[in-house]
Amino acid sequence: MNIGILTGGGDCPGLNAVIRAVVKRGLQFGYEFTGIRDGWRGLIQPKPSTMKLTRQAVSGLLPLGGTILGTSRTNPFKDPKDTETLLRNIKDLKLDAIICIGGDDTLSVAEKLFARGIKTIGVPKTIDNDLSGTDFTFGFDTAVSIVTWALDRLHSTTEAHQRVMVVEVMGRHAGWIAVYGGIAGGADVILIPEKPFDVEEVCGYIKKRKEAGKNFSLVVAAEGAYPKEAGGMITKDKELDAFGHAKLGGVGEFLASEIEKRLGLESRFVVLGHLQRGGTPTAYDRVLATRFGVRAIEMVNEGKFGRMVALQGNKIVDISLQEATAKLKTVDMEMYRTAQIFFG
Ligand code: F6P
């Protein structure tokens, strides 16, 4: 059997660990592996862009950030000509199955392909942790660790200068990174896309702290968080990607300037951006990525397609790609209430 592997969407620590696990376990079944370069983009070229994934090619990948296959946010179903090329390339490359490592966009393509008779399996990847049916996606733990590291450092400088620091973290439609990172880093306010905020209320928490003798505050805002009065997310420009997503950014700057104006307190903002996605995965993400990879290729061996591997409790299970991509997994409000106990 010749198995294709691709990584799509934003990169995420642990992608290489999945590739390594799939290939190492798959070699035990006698499979061959074709790595598809740059996500779906690699399959819509007249000459597909691929590489052989041998034991040697995956050696040393476990701690490596990024993806040796490259990635892109290409949507091969946007233009019917691309879809045609995609299907032709899959046939010409004689791919018996494709393991698609990606978030909701990449996996929605995997689901469409499955509906057309291509044997696909999904592995849930995103630092945002917003895929349904899995308690965690790999990459999330690394992102949260980086946010915690950053907050610990920002804490001391913010306190020394008696400032307000607004830290903008990733999280487009779901504020999981903000909530977990914010709780771990002791944030005084945490803002998430699921709950549009009131600037006056945010200022109220900071004022309350000041009255209690705390002359500094740390605010964590997910990039997708927005003030009630704005009625929508703050974007960098009007440009949309192939899946219709705008480039987010600006809530940190907006909030720091509002706080300074309304409270007269010196404020700064920091955008952690792609720092949260780079570099080596944590031990937790290496283990989760490895478990996902092993199960994905075992599912090929069992002939179980159109499904995504998932973590439920401490068990690796599988759910249909349809269920996984039907809706995003937003922050559990019970969890947010725990975070709120520490506001102000
Ligand atoms: O894929 C998720 C994500 O990390 C979002 O939180 C963020 O909006 C986006 O990626 C940024 O991606 P890009 O690399 O395209 O700037």
**Looking at residue 241, which CATH number applies to its domain?**
3.40.50.460
The dihedral sign for the CA sequence 64, 66, 70, 75: positive
With respect to residue 95, please indicate whether it lies within any of the assigned structural domains: yes
Q: Which atom of ligand 1 is nearest to the CA of 127?
A: 4
Q: The tokens of 18 are what?
A: 């999945």
DSSP annotation of 327 reads S
Q: The tokens of 169 are what?
A: 């973290």
On whether both 120 and 203 belong to a single domain, the answer is: no
Q: Which of 260, 278, 296 is the last residue of a domain?
A: 278
Distance CA 135, CA 148 (A): 20
**Total domains in the fold of the chain:** 2
Inform me whether the pLDDT recorded for 233 exceeds 90: no
Q: Which phi and psi (to 5°) does residue 207 adopt? A: -65, -45
With respect to residue 182, please indicate whether it lies within any of the assigned structural domains: yes
The CB-side HSE value for 89 (13 A sphere, CA atoms) comes to 24
Q: Looking at 38, 104, 105, 128, which residue is catalytic?
A: 128
Quickly list DSSP for 145-204: HHHHHHHHHHHHHHHHHT-EEEEEE--SS--HHHHHHHHHTT-SEEE-TTS-B-HHHHHH
On whether both 150 and 247 belong to a single domain, the answer is: yes
With respect to residue 251, please indicate whether it lies within any of the assigned structural domains: yes
With respect to residue 336, please indicate whether it lies within any of the assigned structural domains: no
The 3-class secondary structure across 90-129, one letter per residue, is HHHCCCCEEEEEECHHHHHHHHHHHHCCCCEEEEEECCCC
On whether both 129 and 19 belong to a single domain, the answer is: yes
On whether both 217 and 239 belong to a single domain, the answer is: yes
Rounded average pLDDT over 260-268:
98
Q: Which atom of ligand 1 is nearest to the CA of 103?
A: 1
Residue 225 and residue 192 in contact, taking contact as beta carbons nearer than 8 Å: yes
Q: The tokens of 271 are what?
A: 């955008």
Q: Which of 222, 245, 278 is the last residue of a domain?
A: 278
Pocket test for ligand 1, best of 277, 329, 331 (most atoms within 8 A of CB): 277
On whether both 297 and 187 belong to a single domain, the answer is: no
On whether both 129 and 254 belong to a single domain, the answer is: no
With respect to residue 343, please indicate whether it lies within any of the assigned structural domains: no
DSSP annotation of 79 reads S
Q: Which atom of ligand 1 is nearest to the CA of 9?
A: 1
- Pocket around ligand 1: residues whose beta carbon is below 6 Å from it? 9-10, 103, 126-128, 170-172, 223, 248
Residue 319 is inside which H or E element, if any? strand 315-320
Residue 221 is inside which H or E element, if any? strand 217-222
On whether both 97 and 119 belong to a single domain, the answer is: yes
Span 6-57, pLDDT tens digits: 999 999 999 999 999 999 999 999 999 999 999 999 999 999 999 999 999 9
Residue 118 and residue 124 in contact, taking contact as beta carbons nearer than 8 Å: no
On whether both 74 and 150 belong to a single domain, the answer is: no
**Looking at residue 99, which CATH number applies to its domain?**
3.40.50.450
Span 100-153, pLDDT tens digits: 999 999 999 999 999 999 999 999 999 999 999 999 999 999 999 999 999 999
Cβ burial 58-74 (10 Å sphere, 16+ → b, else e): beebbebbbbbbbbbbb
Q: How far is the CA of 39 from the centre of ligand 1 (A)?
A: 15
Rounded average pLDDT over 222-251:
86
Look at the block and give the residue holding tokens 């990606």: 102
On whether both 166 and 123 belong to a single domain, the answer is: no
Residue type, 284: Y
Distance separating the N- and C-terminal Cα atoms of the chain: 58
Residue 7 and residue 139 in contact, taking contact as beta carbons nearer than 8 Å: no
Residue type, 163: R
**Nearest CA-CA partner of 328 in 171, 116, 220:** 171
With cut-offs at 50, 70 and 90, classify the pLDDT of residue 235: confident
Q: How confident is the prediction for the chain on average, in pLDDT?
A: 97
- Residue 211 structural domain: 143-278
With respect to residue 333, please indicate whether it lies within any of the assigned structural domains: no
On whether both 85 and 192 belong to a single domain, the answer is: no
With respect to residue 52, please indicate whether it lies within any of the assigned structural domains: yes
Bigger pLDDT: 237 vs 283 = 283
To the nearest whole percent, how much of the chain has pLDDT over 90?
94
285 is known as an active-site residue: no
Distance CA 105, CA 107 (A): 5
On whether both 161 and 110 belong to a single domain, the answer is: no
* Chain CA centroid to CA 301, Å: 28
